[in-house]
Amino acid sequence: MKIGVLTGGGDCPGLNAVIRAVAKSLMLHCDAEVIGFREGFLGLIERNAVSLSYKDVSGILAQGGTILGTHNRANPLSYFGRDGADVSDEVVAYYNELGLDGLVVIGGDGTMSISHEMEKKGMRIVGVPKTIDNDLMATDRTFGFDTAVSIATEAVDRLQTTGQSHRRVMILETMGRYAGWIALESALAGGGDIVLIPEIPYDIDEIVRVCDEREDRQSFTIIVVAEGAKPQSGKMTVRETIDDSPDPIRLGGVGNVIQAQLKGRIDSEVRTTILGHVQRGGTPTPADRILATQYGAHASELIRRGEFGRMVARQDGKLTSVPLSEVANMVKTVPLDSPLIKACHAVGMSFGAKL
User: Residues at the annotated binding site for substrate?
Assistant: 131-133, 168, 175-177, 227, 271, 277-280
Q: Helix, strand, coil: what percent of the chain each, to 5?
A: 40, 20, 40
- For the chain, what's the residue count? 355
31, 56, 83, 133: which one is catalytic?
Answer: 133
309 is a contact residue toward ligand F6P (CB under 6 A): no
DSSP, res 350? B
User: Which strand ranges, in their side-by-side order, compose the sheet holding 169-174?
Assistant: 194-196, 221-226, 169-174, 270-274
Binding-residue pattern over the window 96 to 115 for ligand F6P, x denoting contact by CB under 6 A = ------------x-------
| DSSP codes, 272-322 | EEE-GGGGTSSPPPHHHHHHHHHHHHHHHHHHHHT--SEEEEEETTEEEEE
175 is a contact residue toward ligand F6P (CB under 6 A): yes
Stretch that binds ligand F6P, among 85-93, 115-123, 130-138, 230-238 (CB under 6 A): 130-138
Stretch that binds ligand F6P, among 42-50, 73-81, 128-136, 266-274 (CB under 6 A): 128-136
Binder to ligand F6P among 33, 39, 119, 133 (CB under 6 A)? 133
- How far apart are CB 199 and ligand F6P at their closest, in Å? 15
- How far apart are CB 264 and ligand F6P at their closest, in Å? 30
- How far apart are CB 163 and ligand F6P at their closest, in Å? 24
C-beta separation of 280 from 132 below 8 A: yes
Residues 6+ apart with CB under 8 A from 209: none
Binder to ligand F6P among 120, 250, 263, 354 (CB under 6 A)? 250
* Alpha carbon of residue 227 to chain centroid: 13
- How far apart are CB 11 and ligand F6P at their closest, in Å? 8
- How far apart are CB 112 and ligand F6P at their closest, in Å? 13
Closest residue to bound ligand F6P by CB: 175
What is the Cβ-side half-sphere exposure of residue 285, based on CA atoms within 13 angstroms? 17
Residues 223-242 within binding reach of ligand F6P (CB under 6 A): 227
At 127 the three-state DSSP class reads strand
Binding-site size, ligand F6P (CB under 6 A): 12
Binding-residue pattern over the window 264 to 293 for ligand F6P, x denoting contact by CB under 6 A = ----------------x-------------
C-beta separation of 36 from 68 below 8 A: yes
Residues 6+ apart with CB under 8 A from 290: none
- Answer yes or no: 205 catalytic: no
CA distances for 226 relative to 81, 223, 273, 349, angstroms: 33, 10, 12, 15
At 173 the three-state DSSP class reads strand
Stretch that binds ligand F6P, among 113-121, 125-133, 282-290, 330-338 (CB under 6 A): 125-133
253 is a contact residue toward ligand F6P (CB under 6 A): no
- How far apart are CB 320 and ligand F6P at their closest, in Å? 23
Q: Which residues would be at the binding site for ligand F6P (CB under 6 A)?
A: 10, 72, 108, 131-133, 175-177, 227, 250, 280
**Residues annotated catalytic, as ranges:** 133
